[in-house]
Structure 1
Amino acid sequence: MPKELHDNICQRSVFESIYKKYAQDLTNFLYYKFGANLEPSDRAQDAFIKLWENCAKIPPSKAKSFLFTTANNLMLNAIKHNKVVLNHQKIKPKSYTNEDPEFVLEKKQFARQYEQALSKLSEEQRVAFLLSKVEKKTHQEIADMLGTTKKVVEYRIYSGFKILKEELIAIKHI
């Protein structure tokens, strides 16, 4: 068995020569076998990446075989993935709920009333309140974001909460 001139694909010049020799052929092979929908040039590049990752294990004489086998497997994996995606797209989400229609209507009305009550807060109160309750930020984080002190943030949140409570109680009694 003749000894190979280069025994390591990890040498840049050897890898470049393999890339130049097989890149276009590999892309064409994938294109002709699987079509353009699965991005054959991307899969060919992925195969070269895998070759580079395993460069110390693969002799140059086996590089072509490795590339074509790897690229073929990557395309087959992409086809399997697309089948799974298509199967999930076929499943229709349920269009019903087990909730009482009256409850659903009340929930929508409350959401609207809550939005109206939020609009009655000052901008500073609304921002601090929403950062605290929706974004789950701490008072210190909010103070840092807004460039104020922690006490100012606490005041804004609690005064905003008091206004919201009064507004929602007033709406409930209407």
Structure 2
Amino acid sequence: MNQESKENICQEIVFQHVYNTHVKDLNNYLYYKYGDQYNPSDKAQDAFIKLWDNCKKVTISKAKAYLFKVANNLMLNEIKHQKVVLKYQQINHSQHDYETPEFLIEKDQYLESYKKVLENLSEEQRVAFLLNKVDGKKHSEIADMLGVTKKVIEYRIYSAFKILKSELENFSIK
């Protein structure tokens, strides 16, 4: 029996070695092939999770090929999903058109202004604000995620809100 068949990927040290050896190449491969819009680093992590889940079935010599194949399939599935979402959005928008063209133009202009102001916020403010208002995370959850105190998160969100309110007309969030 050779050394390779004796070592099991399910052993933490072996898995860690496989991870450290291939994570950068896998991230780069996905990024170069599909770009940043489909979150290649997330898909790479998901591929490692699948490798861990199937560690008894995958040998060390086949681990790299397995990771690349799984990650590529995850990206292709994400692309298919985004196409379905896009198709649904197009169908959904064409079914009802009750807004006036003026309202739609104003809405688009306001959205663009909102995006520009968000871009001008510091990264810390923007991240804290969006995690709270878009993802619905609590201040304490965000503080734990970012490794800072709850007061720091409250200040970042408050300062971001203050900037948005001063830069945009009729800005309010519930």
| TM-score normalised to structure 2 length | 0.52
Secondary structure of 1:10 counterpart: coil
Q: CA deviation at 1:59?
A: 0.6
* Equivalent residue number for residue 61 of structure 1: 61
The answer for unaligned runs of 5 or more in structure 1 is 97-174
CA deviation vs aligned residue, 1:4-59 (integer Å, no higher than 9, x gap): 16431000000000000000100000000000000000000000000000001111
Question: 2-side partners of 1:50 and 1:6: how far apart?
Answer: 21
**Does structure 1 conserve the Cα–Cα contact (< 8 Å) formed by 2:9 and 2:15?**
yes
Once the two structures are superposed, the pairs formed by residues 114-129 of structure 1 within 5 Å of their partners are: none
Secondary structure of 2:95 counterpart: coil
Query: Do residues 94 (structure 1) and 96 (structure 2) align?
Result: yes
Aligned alpha-carbon RMSD (Å)? 1.7
* Equivalent residue number for residue 141 of structure 1: none
Q: CA deviation at 1:93?
A: 2.7
Once the two structures are superposed, the pairs formed by residues 63-142 of structure 1 within 5 Å of their partners are: 63-91=63-91, 92-95=94-97
- Please tell me the residue identity of whatever aligns with 1:94: H
Question: 1-side partners of 2:21 and 2:97: how far apart?
Answer: 55
Question: 1-side partners of 2:97 and 2:38: how far apart?
Answer: 33
Question: 2-side partners of 1:88 and 1:70: how far apart?
Answer: 27
* Equivalent residue number for residue 25 of structure 1: 25
The answer for unaligned runs of 5 or more in structure 2 is 99-174
* Equivalent residue number for residue 41 of structure 1: 41
Question: 2-side partners of 1:62 and 1:93: how far apart?
Answer: 50
Identity over aligned residues, as a percent? 57
Question: 2-side partners of 1:6 and 1:85: how far apart?
Answer: 46
Question: 1-side partners of 2:74 and 2:62: how far apart?
Answer: 18
Question: 2-side partners of 1:94 and 1:23: how far apart?
Answer: 46
CA deviation vs aligned residue, 1:85-142 (integer Å, no higher than 9, x gap): 000111123358xxxxxxxxxxxxxxxxxxxxxxxxxxxxxxxxxxxxxxxxxxxxxx
Question: 2-side partners of 1:18 and 1:6: how far apart?
Answer: 15
Aligned length: 96
